[in-house]
Amino acid sequence: MPRSLLPLLTQFALPHVCLVCGRYTRAKLDCCPECEATLPTLEARCLRCGLGVERSMPMCNACLLAMPSFDQSWPGFERVAMTERWLHQFRREANLTVGRFLSDIYARRLAAMGATRPDLMIPMPMHVIDYCLQGFDHNRWLSKALSKRMDHLPIYPVLKLTRYIKKQHRLPTELRWANVRGAYAIRAMPPSTRYVVLVDDVMSSGHSVNEAARVLKKAGIERVDVWALLRA
């Protein structure tokens, strides 16, 4: 049998293995229905930045005091030990089975949350140094995976980095804004673009997506949302 046919045949002939409990499942994704029902969800979140709020509050105090440049964020999972492990396997180990699983669940959750269809998706850009070190652009891969699950929603690498930025999670909060300020520029923008989403694997302080959204708004984009797998 030609080697190229093997992955195709195994995909259709063999059941998936649930990534949570390890059992075979006939579900169309790598998670059985029982485990899918127990996956960490996000309850009562700020509509703008996605941080946890009281149920009666549509937005957190930080957003009410200083509104972020992006209009709405749509985090998929709470950042707990299990989702943190999946993210590490996907991003650092390029485990595409985990990537596919996260994309499947996230696409379902976006639909369930009522996320509207943008004109295009913009993967948060990765610096060439990081790409060489990691060998894998996880945000671009994630965008492609979501596009496939969303009737081929267009992806366009609108943004580029103008300089190297340090890893935000390794910096104290007070230095994160300065780290990304002025670090994004528009590479090219398809005509008639009005509504875009930034695709990022994890949203922690939100400074990176906020700065990217600021640049996009300045360039005339009317609405910028953030799609992120995890919210710290």
DSSP for residue 41: -
CB of 84 to Zn ion, least distance (A): 19
Q: Which of 20, 39, 57, 171 binds Zn ion (CB under 5 A)?
A: 20
Question: Toward Zn ion, which CB reaches closer, 26 or 163?
Answer: 26
Identify which range of 46-54, 158-166, 173-181, 184-192 contacts Zn ion by CB under 5 A: 46-54
Q: Which residues contact 156 (CB under 8 A, 6 or more apart)?
A: 120, 121, 122, 188, 189, 190, 193
Q: Segment 23-42, which members bind Zn ion (CB under 5 A)?
A: 32, 35
The site map against Zn ion for 156-195 (x = CB under 5 A) is ----------------------------------------
Task: Map the footprint of Zn ion across residues 57-86, applying CB under 5 A.
Answer: 60, 63
Helix axes 96-113, 138-149, angle to 10 degrees: 50
Q: Is 46 in the site for Zn ion (CB under 5 A)?
A: yes
Residue 26 vs 170, nearer CB to Zn ion: 26
Could you give the CA distance from residue 168 to residue 213 in angstroms, rounded to a whole number? 17
CA neighbor of 102 nearest in space, from 79, 76, 136, 123 = 76
Per the CB < 8 A criterion, the answer to whether 176 and 207 are in contact is: yes
Distance from the Cα of residue 173 to its chain's centroid: 21
Is the CB of 21 or the CB of 178 nearer to Zn ion?
21
Given the rule CB under 5 A, which of 14-22, 122-130, 143-151, 194-202 is the region that contacts Zn ion? 14-22
Contacts to Zn ion by CB under 5 A: 18, 20-21, 32, 35, 46, 48-49, 60, 63
